[in-house]
Structure 1
Amino acid sequence: MIMPRGQQLLLPANPMFILFTLLMALFANMVVNISLVGNAAWMPDFLALTLVFWCVHQPRLVGIGVAFFFGVATDVHQSALLGQHALTYTSLGFMAILMHRRLLWFTVPSQAMQVLPMFAVAHALELMVRMMSGALFPGWPIFLAPLLEAVLWPVVSVFLLAPQRRAPNPDANRPL
């Protein structure tokens, strides 16, 4: 694949770092849902954001199976309808893998605009499953979550790509 002009060549992603970031995102969702704001509908889903990021940047390592596993783990943690988050995360993983080649040609702020509809569809799917199972409508602030996830996309991109930007053997005469 020909790289876009001005884009930095990245080192390969460490699979242990990917697993660590996914586990930390799951832990962040658990902490936010348990202690800080309760199960607020407007809070962004950090695990979904991290899953989409890694499905875009490393589709061979993180795919639909990983998304399903973390979706079931989220369902068990939140005592939600079993499969609700699994369906949402697998659909997000599928959409991310479907458009990952095209998405990487855009700048990071443009990528945020491209992933916004993906997050909106995922939250609408989750809301539909939740309401079909008999739950009440959580309120209009639920539509803030995809917007907040799209706003967080550049921040997540900077932090998760930082280990790949370092030089493998740094020295003063050969910066990467």
Structure 2
Amino acid sequence: MSRLRTKSWVLPVSLILALLLGLVPLPPLLQPLRPYWLALVLAYWVMETPERVGLGFAFAIGVLADLMYGSILGEQALRLVIFTFILQRFRARIRFFPMSQQALAIGGLLANDRIVDAAIHLLAGEPMLPWTYWWAPLLGMLLWLPLFVLLDAVRLGRRSRGRGR
């Protein structure tokens, strides 16, 4: 428990990095493939520390993302709250899935996020995103395992190799 207290910086730093990764300029060809970093990092924290990260936290981070990305005020907040709500609802099951099935579940949540995003754009009268933007959930699904392992290693510290001997 004391080890977790000393690593309390990991949550804010990981979210700041996720916000910044959303701002990194990409060539027009790669722009549609940008994973929703904020949702991926938030998914990790909802899965691992649900007592610290919930719907209110997702809303606050979403409003901050709206301000940083210059999107419709409340768009990212709504998307992240829906994402977090569904993840919280099925967290107990998803946590015990093998990592490949967890990645599929996260991919499904990211695809659902694209549907919510398309609905928001439709209701706001904004132009619809091109079909190539539907590839991003697939890339996010593929990035789930390395992101999960990286955040777990940083949050919990490196495990010694000879522990079981």
The bucket for the TM-score relative to the shorter chain is: 0.7 to 0.9
The Cα of 1:165 is off from its aligned counterpart by 5.0
Structure 2 residue aligned with 1:77: 68
| Deviations 1:9-30 (CA, angstroms, capped at 9, x unpaired) | xx64733211111111111112
CA distance in 2, matches of 1:25, 1:135: 25
Give 1:4-83 correspondences, 5 Å limit: 12=4, 14-31=7-24, 35-37=25-27, 40-83=31-74
The Cα of 1:104 is off from its aligned counterpart by 1.2
| Deviations 1:44-73 (CA, angstroms, capped at 9, x unpaired) | 111111001111111111111121111111
The Cα of 1:37 is off from its aligned counterpart by 3.2
Q: Give runs of ≥4 in structure 1 deviating > 2 Å.
A: 11-15, 35-42
Q: 1:57–1:100: 8 Å Cα contact kept in structure 2?
A: no
SS in 1 for 2:142: helix
Structure 1 residue aligned with 2:137: 146
Q: 1:84–1:130: 8 Å Cα contact kept in structure 2?
A: no
Structure 1 residue aligned with 2:91: 100
Instruction: Establish whether residue 88 from structure 1 lines up as the match of residue 106 from structure 2.
Output: no
| Deviations 1:23-45 (CA, angstroms, capped at 9, x unpaired) | 111111122xxx22369343111
Instruction: Establish whether residue 175 from structure 1 lines up as the match of residue 163 from structure 2.
Output: yes
Q: 1:166 corresponds to which letter in structure 2?
A: R
- Taking only the aligned residue pairs, the percentage that are identical comes to 26
| Deviations 1:105-155 (CA, angstroms, capped at 9, x unpaired) | 111111101222111111110111012111112111111111111111001
Structure 1 residue aligned with 2:115: 124
Task: Point out where structure 1 has 5 or more consecutive residues left out of the alignment.
Answer: 1-10
The Cα of 1:82 is off from its aligned counterpart by 0.6
Task: Point out where structure 2 has 5 or more consecutive residues left out of the alignment.
Answer: none
SS in 1 for 2:33: coil
Q: 2:19 corresponds to which letter in structure 1?
A: L
SS in 2 for 1:152: helix
More helix by share: 2
CA distance in 1, matches of 2:79, 2:18: 16
